[in-house]
Structure 1
Amino acid sequence: MGIFERYLSVWVGIAIIAGVTFANLFPALFQLIADLEFAHVNFIVALLIWLMIYPMMVQIDFSSLKDIGKKPKGLILTLVINWMVKPFTMALLGWLFFKGIFADWVDPQTASEYIAGMILLGVAPCTAMVFVWSQLTKGDANYTLVQVSVNDIIMIFAFAPLAAFLLGVTDIAVPWDTLLLSVILYVVIPLAAGAITRKRVDRQQDHAALNHLLSVLKPWSVIGLLATVVLLFGFQAETILAQPEAILLIAIPLLIQTYGIFAITYFIAFKMRLPHNIAAPACMIGTSNFFELAVAVAISLFGLHSGAALATVVGVLVEVPVMLSLVWFANRTRHWFGEA
């Protein structure tokens, strides 16, 4: 591992502090960047995420995708956790904490909005960042692509009905522009670029040239991650400083949900005897969230300054540090699993 990967948690911590600090020193600049968006998708963040996942897309060998069907257990695990477990545990934890444990600290209306925001996070499995977590755990890039793609297809049909059922409302307006634009920006475009690059570089089956290119691109992937963290925390700097107690209250059930879902999925993957390069990404997909979609729906349903919008924002804030800790754990426990 290079210095970027070896001390990634340190760099992310510095990036978090830098984002909050710079946003307070240069608020106009961060506001200008934040305004560069369409359908709640920020183009600068999208570009940085593209920078993160493009090297991973270059690694995908399309000729091997046909063999994914021969080992469906990892895909089945991801789908079961994402659509039959995670949304319901998120709703249960939200109700337990904000209607029970924290009931004396939060008024009923705000508590209901916090729960709604948590539910929206729970029914939106991650699309883009999963490729980062997969690479950091040396996951099977081909298999990860299939897992993400199938989840995206299911999300198009299942997001609105499941969110409506758990929220107890029937007029969920899915921001299709956000959903479709995100899939195009985070999956389709980098995937096409990666495929074209791989075909051009590896046309003579000269894997040395391909490996050299990947070694050159790899640091840029981490730089993209760190720059994204700076921007995400910079965009939310005002909220972080203005409502630290609310952020803490929301973060507690979100942390329990994240670590709990990972533990359940990792245990099941171990019992299913999945190879680590499939088990680790499957657990990461089941654990992380498609926060752009959750934030967009929360704003459209409850308003920009609602408790629901704040809850989805806290989901953004806790995801990167928490997922990095899970990446560390997955790498340290690689010997528990077999290899493909």
Structure 2
Amino acid sequence: MTEISPAPMSRFERYLTVWVALCIVVGLALGRLLPDVFQAIGAAEVAKVNLPVAILIWLMIIPMLMKVDFTAMRAVGRHWRGIGVTLFINWAVKPFSMAALAAFFIGYLFRPHLPAGEINSYIAGLILLAAAPCTAMVFVWSNLTRGEPHFTLSQVAVNDTIMVVAFAPIVGLLLGLSAISVPWQTLMLSVGLYIIMPVILAQIFRSALLKRGGEVALRRALARIGPISLTALLATLVLLFGFQGQQILGQPAIIAMLAVPILIQVYLNAGLAYLLNRATGEAHCVAGPSALIGASNFFELAVAAAISLFGFSSGAALATVVGVLVEVPVMLSIVAIVNRTKGWYERGSVVR
């Protein structure tokens, strides 16, 4: 099995939240100064797919998926308890807990303070955010907790495989339960365009690089294209906030209200995964990345799906962007908790 060891978080990645905040400011300013330009970009669609955004999304996702070695699934049995816990959290708990939290906070508690016409759209965006587990940044979080790299690699490979077939049904089910009309044709197109095709292309590129120069060539390629992925994400955010500008400036508290269910969901699922690993006797080096994978989201896919399903200026798109805004500081706080509680964890866990 070819393994790409997780690299330390770069300075660019470490300050991702700062760059996201700057993109918010730039997007809001450009949206007011150049409204016609943003409208022209929004109109560049084919079969309800915005071409500029589709290109940016591929530039985001493909480099991240190139890190994933699907042959790692052969090592799944080595850490079956951690794999089982993470799968339970990712697919049986997280999407449904987010749907419940979104319904309570956005659909009930904060409802009087939100635009009435966007309530269902906000809920849909939060569901999309929780319906797909994180793929790329997990390698960074695992490294920071000194996680078992084989577990992280195999868990990501398993999650990505499940995501190909489970993302659309789970999203469709939860949107239906939330009384939101499910545009199935667009949803399936999003799965093909933003999951299946990027996975195929990423693995083709990965295999070609490994055949040409082995792990060294792959490492060098990933180092070169890594900044492209994050730059594409930031460019997408500028476009999103350019379209969302009027709504955000009119009610800036919307972002804070949308962040509440996201924060609760992240800490809830991370804590549950961590405790379940401890209860089953899994090693700390597996429990750490398991908790982080269980809590984090594939926000690149969520942003892409929200734009495809509901449009640039939708509440769903804005809700997924809030997920990007809180991702790095929240996950770093979980890393700190996992590292500081290692002694407590190991005193109560008998590794089997």
CA shift, 1:286, in A, is 8.9
Provide the secondary structure at the position in 2 that maps to 1:280.
helix
Aligned partner of 2:57 in structure 1 is 49
Per-residue CA deviations over 1:117-144 (Å, capped at 9, x if unaligned) read: 42663376444x8334324425735532
Aligned pairs for 1:154-303 within 5 A: 154-164=166-176, 166-167=177-178, 173-203=181-211, 206-245=214-253, 248-269=256-277, 271-272=279-280, 273=282, 274-285=286-297, 290=302, 293=305
CA shift, 1:291, in A, is 5.1
Aligned partner of 2:331 in structure 1 is 327
**Residues in 1 aligned to 2:191 and 2:159: alpha-carbon distance in whole angstroms:** 14
Aligned partner of 1:114 in structure 2 is 119
CA shift, 1:320, in A, is 0.5
Q: Which of 134, 138, 160 pairs up with 1:148?
A: 160
CA 1:270–1:328: 2 relative to 1, 3 Å: farther
Identity of matched residues, %: 31
CA shift, 1:91, in A, is 4.8
Aligned partner of 2:76 in structure 1 is 68
Contact map agreement 2:270 2:294 (CA 8 A) in 1: no
Q: Which amino acid aligns with 2:127?
A: G
Once the two structures are overlaid, the 10-residue window that deviates more, 224-233 or 130-139, is 130-139
CA RMSD, 1 decimal: 3.8
Gaps in structure 1 of 5+ consecutive residues: none
**Residues in 2 aligned to 1:269 and 1:223: alpha-carbon distance in whole angstroms:** 36
Per-residue CA deviations over 1:251-295 (Å, capped at 9, x if unaligned) read: 444543444444444544555533544442232149998355467
TM-score by length of 2: 0.73
Matched, 1:137 2:141: yes
CA shift, 1:178, in A, is 2.4
CA shift, 1:240, in A, is 0.8
CA 1:267–1:206: 2 relative to 1, 3 Å: same
Matched, 1:317 2:304: no
Per-residue CA deviations over 1:14-45 (Å, capped at 9, x if unaligned) read: 12211111111111111222222356543322
CA 1:46–1:12: 2 relative to 1, 3 Å: same
TM-score by length of 1: 0.76
Q: Which amino acid aligns with 2:326?
A: V
Gaps in structure 2 of 5+ consecutive residues: 1-8, 144-151, 347-352
Contact map agreement 1:49 1:186 (CA 8 A) in 2: yes
CA shift, 1:67, in A, is 2.7
